[in-house]
Amino acid sequence: MFNFLSVFAASYLWHSLGVTIGYHRLLSHRSFKCSKAIEYFWVLGGYLAFEGSPIWWAAIHRAHHKYTDTQLDPHSPRYGFKNAYYGWMTPKTYPVYIDPKQQCPDLVTDPVYKFLEQDGQWHKAHGLVAASGLLFRAGLWSLFGWQAALASALAGAAVLQIPLLLNVVCHTPKLGYKTYAREDDSVNVWWVALLANGEGWHNNHHAFPGSARSGLKPHEFDLSWMILRVLHSFGLVSQMHEATPETEPATPKIGELVGTTAKAAA
Ligand SMILES: [Zn+2]
Ligand SMILES: [Zn+2]
């Protein structure tokens, strides 16, 4: 039992930080810099939690920030719970207004990410992520036994729920609070922040999408930011963008892509 719980805890930490630090704050928002080895370490953690192709994830997420809670937002709960929760993942390819070459020029040149993206054929990319996840657990089973494999698979499945849940809960105004008045529905939700390593401070995040720090008030616990600060103190990450409680948020305009690379914003 101890073995099972410790593997579950370690796996949950790696996979969930892989999503929050790797897929989200690094690939989607470029809120800090690090070596390719560190980048791949986090992204692999997210990938093995069934997060899908990194280019696909970042392209959809950048579109979410660009069109937040409008009809072009890939997963706004304003236009249906089912679509916001999982329906947005089921089409065979990108909607016409999302082109990864335009919106993720910084990612499409990476050969690993390009391979995982399968030319935008989502069913192939999703198949690849499922096969990789299963193969990884089969490897764990053969090396460490079925308990380790099961604990890892359950942690990956739990982590997969985090962004899906967040897309719905943190865009439902009655479920949280707004520190920053915005036209969109983003809210801060404490229990999502606990489960999702600080990502639940989602109203703060929409106010400062390019910030590597999302928890701003003293009670807004942000594990991803704490880990990034530790990595920074060891020289493993650099140039972290940091919003503070005193920072004035930019006035958001629909169609403006904030917090990614200047090129991606064009
Ligand atoms: Zn959002
Ligand atoms: Zn974001």
Q: What is the pLDDT of residue 24?
A: 97
pLDDT higher than threshold 60 for residue 262 = no
Q: How far is the CA of 210 from the centre of ligand 1 (A)?
A: 13
Q: How far is the CA of 226 from the centre of ligand 2 (A)?
A: 18
**Burial call 193-219: b when 16+ CB within 10 Å, e when fewer:** bebbbbbbbbbbbbbbbbbbbbbbeee
Measured between alpha carbons, how far is 114 from 53 in angstroms, rounded to an integer? Answer: 9
Q: How many separate domains does the chain show?
A: 1
Question: Which tens digits make up the pLDDT trace of 194-244?
Answer: 999 999 999 999 999 999 999 999 999 999 999 999 999 999 999 999 999
The reported pTM is: 0.91
Domain of 14? 2-265
Which listed ligand is nearest to 24 at the C-alpha? 2
Question: Which tens digits make up the pLDDT trace of 94-126?
Answer: 999 999 999 999 999 999 999 999 999 999 999
Q: What is the pLDDT of residue 252?
A: 53
Give residue 227's identity as a one-letter amino acid code: I
Measured between alpha carbons, how far is 162 from 166 in angstroms, rounded to an integer? Answer: 6
Containing 33, the helix (H) or strand (E) segment is strand 33-34
Question: Which tens digits make up the pLDDT trace of 46-93?
Answer: 999 999 999 999 999 999 999 999 999 999 999 999 999 999 999 999
Q: Which of 177, 165, 171, 198 is closest to 73 using CA atoms? A: 171
Measured between alpha carbons, how far is 4 from 107 in angstroms, rounded to an integer? Answer: 36
Q: How far is the CA of 242 from the centre of ligand 1 (A)?
A: 19
Which listed ligand is nearest to 186 at the C-alpha? 1
